[in-house]
Structure 1
């Protein structure tokens, strides 16, 4: 028999429904017989052929397919908000515009510097070469730092990565130009090259630095127009942190995964104090990194289930399951296993579990009507049907016990108990499949097995 799992904490105040997936073809006739003293009671039953299914129960959370939190890329004012909470938006749709005077000022300054660099002549003297190089390097470092800091405050992962890649590329281009300028300056200082070549190389580096500073500043300003990186439903603010309702939990991820192919992902924002709305309206002041909107793609809901290590080897993609939601009493939903994580997660109880990801299907209420569509983050219990036998020799689960390291049953032969080692197959909640050791029609002890001894009379 499968060794018992450690106790799981209750997931709801309502009693859980018992899953019965076993169809018994013939009722087992039971007889009671007294043996030993008057207080002992041994009950036997007949092994029959019937269908039996093995079901694993696992706690789970409803997950969204993807989510993205849009944050302010710079300090400023939320100039316009073009969507309402609960509105469904398409990918690429403009959702909001941030007015950032500081970002606009950096763009104006970088544009002026670029114009000046392009108009600058070759009037740099020999004594000014080293100082000019240092000034160019300082201006480049400042531009790169400002651009990198602005990019890191953008929650849209794709946009953030694109801007960071632009910064890295600009740094590499400038580094190559700076090396050329350095070589030219050293040649002039050693008297092996003319001044014009050094001034020309330095001017090229200055123009490149000014162009890159302008491009990066413009990219930050362009990012002030917030576009939807994915399609979905809009909600104001970010996602609450902690309590299993963070963005990673809503996506089904442990180490993020959430595994559920998120198109964009942002860190969970800190929850506001109780009674405070975190929604930022048009005209409101924002700081760099402040969450403005979150888009959740609920087009294909899923489940992230935690399966104990003693059961996970029985779970594979394609298995079907039934699902109960704490929020919808009496409803049953369909689900199919999509994948099983390779790496484990540590549960709050200290045990080891593996995350199983499922596609969540439609549900039905107890009276047969359609069940409401769940929301990401809702608690659920997944009943995974891992094995099934249709025409199997079965005995009640209580008949099987462990002796000398083997599963065994007491078989009643000629009125006497005979211990028979057995091989167990599919293990249902009530019945167990016996692969060998017992035949259909054999009488087996199903109660009081711990009181029976070999050869004892059982009537």
Structure 2
């Protein structure tokens, strides 16, 4: 639940000082304070927990088993998009590519010297090879923890299988026609060869993509970090089958869709040294784009309707005591998320600006992942009729204040506008110059005389 913090002291004057009198009443009315209504600036602020986010992050993973043959960058180094960062040596990937290339060539030559009795056997062999490839893809997808991502990847595998099955059905129909003596052998051989070529082409594309991915290139510009992130999974069928090192989830889940696969236990460095062994999916390097830092805040459902793009905010970091940073709301999510406390919150994305210390010196630059508190100025009123929040009480469901008329207290309904925790705007009911009870409202009754 977001809270409304205390406003700056300059905005929290109980009343305008000019011409104001505040005094405690006699012993029988101890604790009751009367003051004059004045004008002031009032700001309504919402507190929300937040996390500093990078603009983007991408993790490069090993596409196959092998060794890290070459590491061409150092931790902390800035790299450009497309720059070669590392090369992996994988004899097994090279051998699979060689076999896939030979199988593709054989599939393209298929159809020469084939008898009617051979059609069924060839068809079954093609089906077996295709089934093994799709089963392997489904097993890889089933290991992903994120249920939504797992479902999306399984749909992609299903789509690829449907393409193959369409070609296979055409081959079945042609073979059946030949066996019934209703069509020529050439038509059946042609249909069967098309299915074989499709299966062989898919296997070759996968093997070729795996070999190409052995050269790891930076997908984005940024700073190099060894190892990977904690939230990770490939996002396409090629990556799922081990073909490429995809992007890694950044601090903000919206900046990228994928990342490294898990990570080591606490206290274990996951950096892979040059010459070190890797397996398919091992995180090798992560690139983090910190050119523009942001914030990902969680605003409670009771406050989110007041938040909109363009609102300004001040930010405090746990790691930078005494520093204050500027921020501006970029967007508010439409769909909610469950907060750690079990309530419903909405993610608010902000751009993070410069920070300053109490002495006016520049504040240190934050790092992605740091905890913060965002103070969102959702509403404000200048030169408003304002009273202390302690002066307002509930009277049969309506806001009211005690107003002094001829020395006696009278209950007056009011309409509240902008609400700070300590100072609130009064839209109607009282005017500047009126004298009201600002403390001890629960000790007053209607018509009570106040000296």
TM-score range, shorter chain: 0.7 to 0.9
- Greater CA drift, 133-142 or 21-30: 21-30
Residues 123 and 439 (structure 1), Cα distance of their counterparts in 2 relative to 1, 3 Å cut: same
Q: Which residue of 1 aligns with 2:251?
A: 250
Instruction: Give the counterpart of 2:258 among 245, 253, 265.
Output: 265
Counterpart check, 1:312 vs 2:313: no
Deviation at 1:315, TM superposition (A): 1.3
Secondary structure of the residue aligned to 1:330 is coil
Whole-angstrom distance in 1 between the partners of 2:99 and 2:360: 67
What count of residue pairs does the alignment treat as equivalent? 427
Provide runs of 4+ in structure 1 moved above 6 Å. 147-154, 163-170
TM-score w.r.t. the length of structure 1 is: 0.84
Q: Describe the SS at the equivalent of 1:333.
A: strand
Over the residues paired in the alignment, what is the CA RMSD in angstroms? 3.1
How far off is 1:20 after superposition?
4.1
Match of 2:442 in 1: 450
1:31 and 2:22 aligned? yes
Pair 186,346 (structure 1): closer, same or farther in 2 beyond 3 Å? closer
Q: Structure 1 stretch 340-349 or stretch 57-66: which is displaced more?
A: 340-349
77-86 vs 144-153, which moves further: 144-153
Q: How does 1:294-305 map to 2 (within 5 A)?
A: 294-305=286-297
Choose the corresponding residue for 2:380, options 373, 388, 392.
388
Q: Distance in 1 between matches of 2:346 and 2:95?
A: 51
Cα displacement string for residues 31-72 of structure 1 (whole angstroms, at most 9, x for unaligned residues):
32435737x231111001222212122221111121122211
Which of 166, 169, 183 is the matching residue for 1:193? 183
- Distance in structure 2 (CA, Å) of the matches to 1:456 and 1:316: 45
Aligned to 2:173: 183
SS in 1 for 2:325: strand
Say if 2:67 and 2:276, in contact at 8 Å, map to a contact too. Answer: yes
When residues 100 and 19 of structure 1 are mapped into structure 2, their CA distance, relative to the original with a 3 A threshold, is farther
1:333-344 residue pairs with structure 2 within 5 A? 333-344=325-336
Q: What residue ranges of structure 1 are gaps of 5+ in the alignment? A: 9-15, 155-162, 252-257
Partner SS state of residue 137, structure 1? helix
- State which of 427, 437, 446 in structure 1 corresponds to 2:429: 437
Q: Which runs of 5+ in 2 are unaligned?
A: 145-152, 233-247
1:160: which partner in 2? none
C-alpha displacement of 1:83: 1.6
Where does residue 277 of structure 2 map in the other structure? 285
Partner of residue 67, structure 1: 57
Q: For residues 93-242 of structure 1, what are the structure 2 equivalents within 5 Å?
A: 93-120=83-110, 122-145=112-135, 171=161, 174-240=164-230
* Structure 1 residue 436: Cα displacement: 0.9
Report if the CA contact (8 A) 1:32-1:41 is conserved: no
Residue 79 of structure 2, aligned match among 84, 89, 96 = 89
Q: Give the direction of change, closer, same or farther, for the CA distance of 1:283–1:148 in structure 2 (3 Å limit).
A: farther
Residues 395-406 of structure 1: pairs in structure 2 closer than 5 A: 395-406=387-398
TM-score by length of 2: 0.85
Partner of 2:238: none
Using the TM superposition, give the Cα deviation of residue 85 of structure 1 relative to its aligned residue in structure 2, in angstroms: 1.1
